[in-house]
Chains A and B, each alone.
Chain A
Amino acid sequence: MAEPAERLTQSTVATSSSILQIHGLTRRFGGLRALDAVDLAVGRDELLAIIGPNGAGKSTLFNVVTGYLPPDSGRVILDGDDITALSPDRISRLGVGRKFQVPSVFDGLTIRQNLEVSARGHSPLRSLFRSHDGFDQLDAILSRLRLSEKANLPAGLLSHGEKQWLEIAMVLANRPRLLLLDEPTAGMTLGETKRTEELLRDIGQEHTIVLIEHDVRFVREVAQRVVVLHRGRVLASGPIDEVERDERVRDVYLGREE
């Protein structure tokens, strides 16, 4: 890596343990800088939440990291490998799993089949025609997400909250090194949100998770560290208590949100 560690701002954790490093990431839409020289590092096994008002650049960040949008400048490093502007399928095969804000599940397949498709996502084309043997863990994932009883129902019949869980289950079945979850509690009831909290804490035991979230209470429950994005820039970073006390953060975000 040519980029010296000193370039990283205080918003980063120690580089040696980082699974994801983002250097100077910039993405413009016309005159708007959706991402403006964002530096960020995600430590191994960390559960990091990215918060910020609408239009802060949170989803754009995920879109650039997962290869859906190319950046105008900057680099994305996954475990030491430069993955900047690779295609979404390659980045997925390299181990970045993504859950979308609007739950994207395959309505025409059963819940189990949704997981099977996800489990095979990294397989070479040829092996798709053979029977697959990596399915042992699917039952465990199903019961973890409380979807076991509905395993053979079409995914289209699930409620909104259950679809959110199914998509998390799909990302887990895909066996990523890093999970990017875009508002996993969007549209959920209070009870479902509570359940998702437990779930994320549980999954966070063995996975590195980056979470985009609007719900600050939820973030307080699950995240070890919070990064605040504002107008495409990293405004603050640290434990939620510190960040909440930050005057600038209060001004742009927390005060207005609640």
Chain B
Amino acid sequence: MPDFEPVLLRRIGKPECQTLAGYRADGGYRTLTKALNEMDATKVAALVKDSGLRGRGGAGFPTGLKWTFLPKDHPGPIYLCVNADESEPCTFNNRILMEEDPHQVLEGIILASYATRASTAYIYLRYEYGKAFRTMQKAIDELYANNLLGKNILGKEFHLDVYLHRGAGAYICGEETGLIESLEGKRGWPRIKPPFPAVEGAFRKPTVVNNIETLACVTHIIDRGIDWFKSIGIPPDSKNPRDAGSYGPKLYCISGHVNKPCCVELPLGLTVRELVDKYGGGVWNGRKAKGCIPGGISMGIMTEKEFDTPLDFNGPGKVGCLGLGTAAVSVFDEETSIVDVLGNICRFFAHESCGQCTPCREGTGWMNKIVQRMQAGKGRMEDLKVLDEVAKNIGIMPGTTICGLADGAGWPVKNAIQKFRGELEEYIQKGQKSANLALVGAH
């Protein structure tokens, strides 16, 4: 495929990349000015809806459609919660956007607030992104000083406050209602939905929760138009009336056993193999890949034979993975044991389960214990049956939990048993142990 001209990453490394002056010199806030002067909020919202933009946080829900769930003619306040919690393992594109080009993100936030009539935007930022925090705060301070935030932005009847709210190391606070609970100062326990945040969200008011990368796209959609956005990516499957398509540029993260771990911007739809070989520098140490995590660990596991799967919103589903997720690919080579990969994943979910729902709290705990016992050489053939049963029964899709963490926890286990059964059975039969036995269960 011909080289794609970056949009979201186009300014990285330029002098004055993070300053207001630098952003303005590159045409920044011109779109916001145009929108405030020439379009009403409904027009901006309609543009985003018609563009087919889908959320980049993992669920891929159509952004403009989500905005329409806000009650019409609500007296307010309406809140925008910006999800900058980015904690899905192997994912780091939002970090790059905030560290390198904070004003691009902020212009999108202001436009989205204008479109949704939000009066305050809270950026829930994971604590671990200290550099991003300081960069974003500086940029926000510049905006207040230049009539681009606060009262009467650019002299219009439009007021907006933007506040950074730092998290404290909990993956579940990336779940939209877990985020809201944490913002409100409580433990990050996700809420039962409905009501959805658009109806009753932060502080019991209508709230929209959007991902950083999603919001960064908003400016470009308003600036360059719907036709431009739809010229990038993959149109909907004509045979499926419910397919919303995979439009726009996407930041892909590639990590693990590749020569060049990095973040690269490309149209939605390139394959895993292209990402690994063309942009990730190929598998390291002259080895072959055994498989990969296709979109953050919650999406499951792909075998090397499935690497020709396109990474758009439809592709991963066709090979039994949960979806595109965060489009973060992490490759493991042929010398890596699938049991160690699974052990790492199960340990993560057991640690991060918030504990609210029994199937998740107990299920993630048991999957972790079973896989750790396998890593210690004491696996039993029945373990695969138990793991499969647990993995298939926890989650919002089978309907047994409040949020989707459990689905994420189950999918890699399901995929491993389905796609790597041979390796798992051999491991158990031989009483094989982890290459890092001393570290199993050590912390």
Partners in one complex: no
Contact surface of A with B, Cβ cutoff 8 Å: none
Q: What residues make up the interface of B, taking CB atoms closer than 8 Å to A? A: none
